């Protein structure tokens, strides 16, 4: 049986960054991936010459210079800036919450007027917001909460805003300027032509087994590696010993339209509860170095949020207390597995963005190999 320095379970970003540094340090790696291709959730599928973000819209943004230099050393990025629009029963509002949103919502024009309006609407919230509903009202008032947050959030997480932690909504900027940039980070963009170029570079020189579930043959794979790097779900690793962690899954439905520009923007959030999907993504707008008019067709994906069941893809960890407590129990078991490194969104049960996954993998790589050089 062939032996490797590392068996890396999962061909996503975490596994990729670890593989990259392992290879740089002269180590051999076997990648075991369940899906038909590498890349994890950043995989792009070419449809009609358009890189389609197969597992949901992915916009790279970071304030970490090391991470930005790292990814730019792998591929070239475009200047894409995410400026999604929310559709509430046909009324279109700029996101994130900023002066354009406030002006459209209330017919006002200055930051002072916007502050006064929000102040008036948040009057019922006292002290520290106890949940997402209170946090949202306290940040942007009741009108925006009702039209742009409540329905979307309840569809996305499958539970009432009162039952969700406040930090989820704190991801979004609230600005008293006319600035529609969804992120505050210093650097932002999307690899020209999509993310697959990153994946190819990260896993260069590794041996790869696709459509292979590590857990189905764990003993064999464990015997093949001196060390294991595991990026799948941590509860599955321990055979759900303490019960199942909850995840949100997604269903994607594509349409190919014979028009060059369907919705005028890459991301539309559908915030009304009655619309069954949360977002529509028009992928060609991500690839903004190619003018949309150069490709006669367009691919639009509707994104539906669903409760995760075994056999589905677990996309989002559910960040409530019950699940965090359960995760802690699994993390303690994980700490006992001396030969296994657990990392990434699923194994750490964390709502990580791509830059945070890379940052975390870089730290672990440094500890593992002594340096990043």
CA distance 259 to 262: 6
Residue 96 touching ligand FAD (CB under 6 A): no
Question: How far apart are CB 128 and ligand UDP at their closest, in Å?
Answer: 19
Q: Which is nearer to ligand UDP, 28 or 173 (CB)?
A: 173
Contacted by 153, from ligand FAD, ligand UDP, none: CB < 5 to 8 Å by type: ligand UDP
DSSP string over 239-300: TTTT-PPPEEEEEEEEEEESSS-SSSSSEEEE--TTSS-SEEEEGGGGSTTS-GGGSS-EEE
The sign of the dihedral angle between the CA atoms of 85, 87, 93, 97 is negative
The rounded Cα 350 to chain-centroid distance in angstroms is: 10
DSSP string over 185-221: -SEEE-BTT-THHHHHHHTTT-EEE-S--GGGGHHHH
DSSP string over 312-347: S---EE--SHHHHHHHHHHHHHHHT-TTEEE-STTT
Q: Which is nearer to ligand UDP, 123 or 160 (CB)?
A: 160
Residue 86 touching ligand UDP (CB under 6 A): yes
Contacted by 34, from ligand FAD, ligand UDP, none: CB < 5 to 8 Å by type: ligand FAD
Strand partners, 255: 300
Of residues 307-346, those binding ligand FAD (CB under 6 A): 315, 344-346
| CA distances, 124 to each of 28, 119, 120, 129 (Å) | 60, 10, 9, 11
Residue 138 touching ligand UDP (CB under 6 A): no
Given the residues 23, 227, 248, 345, select the one marked as catalytic.
248
Question: How far apart are CB 310 and ligand UDP at their closest, in Å?
Answer: 23
Q: Is 351 a catalytic residue?
A: yes
Q: Is 248 a catalytic residue?
A: yes
Q: Is 279 a catalytic residue?
A: yes
Contacted by 125, from ligand FAD, ligand UDP, none: CB < 5 to 8 Å by type: none
- How many separate helices (H) and strands (E) can be counted in the chain? 12, 16
DSSP code at position 171:
T
- Percentages of the chain per state (helix, strand, coil), in multiples of 5: 35, 20, 40
Q: Which is nearer to ligand FAD, 118 or 236 (CB)?
A: 236
Residue 171 touching ligand UDP (CB under 6 A): yes
CB atoms under 10 Å from CB of 177, counted, come to: 11
Three-state DSSP state, 148: helix
Work out which of 153, 166, 188, 233 binds ligand UDP, going by CB under 6 A. 153
Q: Is 175 a catalytic residue?
A: yes
Residue 14 touching ligand FAD (CB under 6 A): yes
Q: Are strands 225-230 and 279-282 parallel, antiparallel or unpaired?
A: unpaired
Work out which of 87, 269, 298, 301 binds ligand UDP, going by CB under 6 A. 269
Residue 152 touching ligand UDP (CB under 6 A): yes
Work out which of 47, 56, 165, 178 binds ligand FAD, going by CB under 6 A. 56
Residue 266 touching ligand UDP (CB under 6 A): no
Contacted by 52, from ligand FAD, ligand UDP, none: CB < 5 to 8 Å by type: none
Question: How far apart are CB 278 and ligand UDP at their closest, in Å?
Answer: 8
Contacted by 148, from ligand FAD, ligand UDP, none: CB < 5 to 8 Å by type: ligand UDP
Q: Is 171 a catalytic residue?
A: yes
Helix axes 354-369, 13-24, angle to 10 degrees: 30
Contacted by 352, from ligand UDP, ligand FAD, none: CB < 5 to 8 Å by type: ligand FAD
Instruction: Name the nearest CA neighbour of 52 among 295, 308, 293, 275.
Output: 295
Residue 189 touching ligand FAD (CB under 6 A): no
Given the residues 79, 171, 241, 273, select the one marked as catalytic.
171
| CA distances, 293 to each of 190, 290, 304 (Å) | 19, 8, 28
Instruction: Name the nearest CA neighbour of 270 among 145, 86, 113.
Output: 86
Q: If binding means CB under 6 A, how many residues of this protein chain bind ligand FAD?
A: 35
Three-state DSSP state, 153: helix
Work out which of 58, 122, 270, 284 binds ligand FAD, going by CB under 6 A. 58
Q: Which residues are catalytic?
A: 171, 175, 248, 279, 303, 351, 353
Binding interface with ligand UDP (CB under 6 A): 86, 95, 148-149, 152-153, 156, 168-169, 171-172, 269, 271
């Amino acid at each position: 049986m062939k032996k490797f320095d590392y068996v890396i379970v999962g061909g996503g970003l975490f596994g990729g960054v670890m593989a990259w540094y392992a290879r740089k340090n002269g180590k051999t790696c076997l990648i075991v991936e369940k899906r038909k291709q590498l890349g994890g959730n950043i995989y792009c599928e070419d449809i009609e010459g358009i890189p389609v973000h197969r597992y949901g819209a992915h916009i790279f943004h970071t304030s970490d210079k090391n991470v930005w230099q790292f990814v730019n050393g792998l591929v070239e990025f475009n200047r894409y800036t995410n400026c999604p629009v929310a559709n509430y029963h046909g009324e279109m509002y700029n996101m994130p919450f900023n002066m354009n949103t406030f002006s459209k919502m209330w017919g006002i024009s200055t930051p002072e007027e916007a502050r006064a309006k929000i102040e008036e609407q948040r009057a019922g919230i006292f002290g520290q917001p106890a949940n997402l509903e209170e946090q949202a009202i306290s940040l942007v008032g009741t009108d925006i909460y009702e039209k742009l947050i409540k329905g979307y959030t309840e569809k996305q997480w499958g539970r009432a805003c009162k039952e969700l932690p406040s930090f989820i909504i704190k991801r979004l900027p609230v600005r008293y300027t006319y600035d529609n940039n969804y992120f505050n980070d210093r650097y932002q963009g999307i690899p020209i032509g999509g993310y697959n170029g990153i994946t190819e570079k990260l896993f260069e020189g590794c041996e790869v087994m696709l459509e292979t579930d590590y857990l189905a043959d764990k003993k064999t794979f464990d015997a093949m590696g001196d060390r294991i790097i595991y990026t799948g779900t941590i509860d599955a690793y321990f055979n759900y010993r303490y019960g199942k962690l909850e995840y949100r899954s997604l269903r994607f439905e594509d349409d190919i339209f014979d028009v060059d520009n369907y919705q005028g923007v890459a991301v539309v959030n559908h915030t009304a509860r009655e619309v069954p999907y949360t977002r529509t993504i028009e992928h060609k707008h991500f690839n903004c170095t190619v003018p949309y008019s150069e490709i006669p067709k367009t691919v639009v994906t509707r994104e539906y949020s669903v409760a995760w069941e075994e056999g589905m893809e677990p996309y989002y960890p559910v960040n409530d207390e019950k699940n965090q407590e359960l995760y802690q129990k699994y993390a303690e078991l994980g700490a006992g597995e001396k030969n296994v490194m657990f990392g990434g969104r699923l194994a750490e049960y964390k709502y990580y963005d791509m830059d945070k996954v890379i940052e975390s993998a870089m730290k672990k790589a440094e500890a593992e190999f002594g340096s990043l050089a």
